[in-house]
Amino acid sequence: MRALTIVSALALTLSALAACSAKPDGSPPRTGGDTAGTSSSSAGQSSSFAGAPSGSSGATSSGFAGAPPTGAAGASTGFAGAPPAGTAGATGAAGGAATGAACGMGRAVPTGAIIENFDGMTQVLEWDLANMTTPAGAKIMPTGMLSVMASNNGTNGTYAAGLMAKWAAASRPCMDASTYTGIQFSVTGNTTDLLFRVATPGTTPATDGGICADMLCAYAHFQANVTTSLAAGGTVQVPFSTLMQPWANGSVFDKSALTEIVFITTDTTSGHSFTIDNIAFY
């Protein structure tokens, strides 16, 4: 059932991204935590994909974290997502009550600033890679760097998700990054787009261990468009304060409740790719 949801979500994502790609990326305000020689993320938004269980080690990844719900046209972030039909743009928590509690199994404090350097220092429990061919995701073990080739089957995008907290069917645990300003990483590549997303319980359905109880917040993980950093390469800093919703909903970003980090491209050009390295809090 989850895989079927992902396929539908990916199809919606492509049409939404086409509307977004014609818009130039904006630059979000920088915070005092940014340092010289680094670039901040741009605030342009893209759609998200539907989550998928990895099927390994008892963990799942929210992966392509949800496509814009169907319904009325328009989205608060300038992207082609829209609230579900019949809600007239409502951002409240309509729908059934969520079960479980946010980070009900605890909030782990990071052991240090380094999240993943792909050389043995990691706080990521598992990396998963997925596209339309493998919508449920497949566990990968990147070394040296995270290198992701764009899927070229013509109808989808590609994502890599790093689990920062163990998956659970309810009350999933979280990582508490409240003492940090944001997340930084080095990036290179030639994909036509790249988005960085951060999953929290508020944007994760209750059935996947979160507290989201409606279509508006489901997999609407807060995100930043880092496409403009691909060509130049180098270190990109993404302040938590600049992460934005892919479409309007009632969720609020909570940096004390991180569950996953996700890198997404909807590029389907054969030979295109992106690489990520040295992911860290700052």
Q: Which pLDDT tens digit goes with each residue over 35-60?
A: 334 444 443 333 333 333 333 333 44
Q: Which pLDDT tens digit goes with each residue over 196-245?
A: 999 999 999 998 999 999 999 999 999 999 999 999 999 999 999 999 99
Cα separation, 86 vs 28, in Å, equals 32
| pTM over cut 0.75 | no
The contacts of residue 238 (CB under 8 Å, 6+ apart) are 40, 41, 182, 183, 184, 196, 224, 226
Look at residue 21 in the predicted model and tell me its pLDDT: 39
How many residues make up the chain in this entry?
Answer: 282
For the chain, the structural domain boundaries read 2-85+96-281
Cα separation, 81 vs 144, in Å, equals 36
User: Considering the domain 2-85+96-281 in this protein, what is its CATH number?
Assistant: 2.60.120.430
Low-confidence ranges of the chain (pLDDT < 70): 1-99, 153-156
Structure tokens at 198: 């951060």
H/E stretch holding 19 reads helix 2-21
* Whole-number Cα distances in Å, 127 to 16, 56, 70, 195, 211: 26, 10, 30, 17, 23
